[in-house]
Amino acid sequence: MINVGVIGVGVIGQDHIRRLSHVLSGARVASVTDVDQERARSVATGLPGATVAATGEELIASPAVDAVVVTSWGPTHEAYVLAGIAAGKPVFCEKPLASTADACSRIIDAEVATGRRQVQVGFMRRYDAQYRAVREVVAGGSIGTPLLMHAAHRNPSVPPHFTSDMIINDSAVHDIDVARWMFDDEIASVSVFKPRQNRKASRGLDDPLVLLLEMSGGVLVDVEVMLNASFGYDIRGEVVCEDGTVELSESAGAVVKAGGRYSGRVPTHWVERFARAFDTEFQEWLDTIAADVEPTGPSCWDGYAATVVCDAGLAAQRSGQREPVVLRERPDLYKTE
């Protein structure tokens, strides 16, 4: 039984607590903390034997905690992840790894100094069965070398405070990670195009947005991000290779014929679409801890690279130009043979 400490018990933190407590095998939540101690205490009430730590640092240091989940506010991530590394404990950090490229870089330095991967970053699409099936076909080589990818990321709606920066940093960041993972390659440049604005979008919000990502190896990825799609949470992806294409299918379920139409469900929320991916992500993470091996999921390098690409995306959003992505050298720790 792995004793997990959770830093930050907002919506996403509570969802992971539910997952660790009631869905997955081999873990329990042993301690929680939150900037809002009241909320932490309230959450702990429902968790048999769980303590409330005064701070993230205290939680990380506690001998009752074997592994740490960081789901607090983005700007606090760096400190907690560094503390987790220092304590030699496995850390699962929700994206972003840290809020600036420099901060991510410092985490990399700290982890590299330990000589062992300890941190996993929460890019959950890598655990989605459909994305995995697509990647397996691409990697299998049966349809040849990849040339292009078309992607769409459609959210039914976003809260009024959602900004144009967040379209890149909070939404497109998932597609950026998917592109890097799908082709096992870095993104070399980013361009941004702004179509006619959706009238349901707040004044000044660049919604929808089209990103063009050029991979180092030449694959071109276009990503439509639309945050006021209203009709559903619709994630599309198609990889075009030299001898064929492969794409995510429409979600399964019941097909109804009525009123002159056949129809099926489009998910209405990212929770519905990716619930299983979150479960798999955490179970695989717990399994590596139980087996005392390095995590196999997204690394600090992946968190760093995603942040640098997002920065280029923000620059392209402002300049209207193709903006290059410049990465530091990749440490050996993160090289895959």
Residues 207-236 that bind a copy of itself (CB under 8 A): 208, 210, 212, 214, 217-220, 222, 224, 226, 228, 230-232, 234
Residue 121: closest CA among 95, 98, 82: 95
Q: Residue 98 or residue 312: which is nearer to a copy of itself going by CB? A: 312
Q: Which residues contact 145 (CB under 8 A, 6 or more apart)?
A: 241, 242
First-to-last CA distance in the chain? 33
User: Which residue carries 């655990």 as its tokens?
Assistant: 127
Q: Residue 106 or residue 265: which is nearer to a copy of itself going by CB? A: 265
193 binds a copy of itself (CB under 8 A): yes
275: helix, strand or coil = helix
Least separation, in Å, of the C-beta of 55 and a copy of itself?
Answer: 29
Least separation, in Å, of the C-beta of 186 and a copy of itself?
Answer: 14
**Residues numbered 126-145 forming contacts with a copy of itself, rule: CB under 8 A:** 129-130, 133-134, 136-137, 142-143, 145
Q: How many CA atoms lie within 13 A of 13 on its CB side?
A: 25
Task: Please provide residue 16's backbone torsions phi and psi, each rounded to the nearest 5 degrees.
Answer: -70, -35
Q: Residue 63 or residue 258: which is nearer to a copy of itself going by CB? A: 258
Q: From the CB of residue 19, how many other CB atoms can be counted at a distance below 10 Å?
A: 19
Interaction pattern, residues 153-192, with a copy of itself; x per rule: CB under 8 A: ----------------------------------------
User: Which residue carries 């400490």 as its tokens?
Assistant: 5
Q: How many CA atoms lie within 13 A of 192 on its CB side?
A: 25
Q: Residue 46 or residue 244: which is nearer to a copy of itself going by CB? A: 244
Q: Residue 100 or residue 283: which is nearer to a copy of itself going by CB? A: 283
Q: Which of 39, 106, 150, 328 binds a copy of itself (CB under 8 A)?
A: 150
Q: Which of 67, 152, 227, 325 binds a copy of itself (CB under 8 A)?
A: 152
Query: Distance (Å, rounded) from C-alpha 6 to C-alpha 52?
Result: 10
Least separation, in Å, of the C-beta of 314 and a copy of itself?
Answer: 19
**Residues numbered 89-128 forming contacts with a copy of itself, rule: CB under 8 A:** none
**Residues numbered 226-285 forming contacts with a copy of itself, rule: CB under 8 A:** 226, 228, 230-232, 234, 240, 242-266, 268, 283
Query: Distance (Å, rounded) from C-alpha 275 to C-alpha 269?
Result: 10
Query: Distance (Å, rounded) from C-alpha 210 to C-alpha 196?
Result: 11
The helix (run of H) or strand (run of E) holding residue 33 is strand 27-33
**Residues numbered 30-89 forming contacts with a copy of itself, rule: CB under 8 A:** none
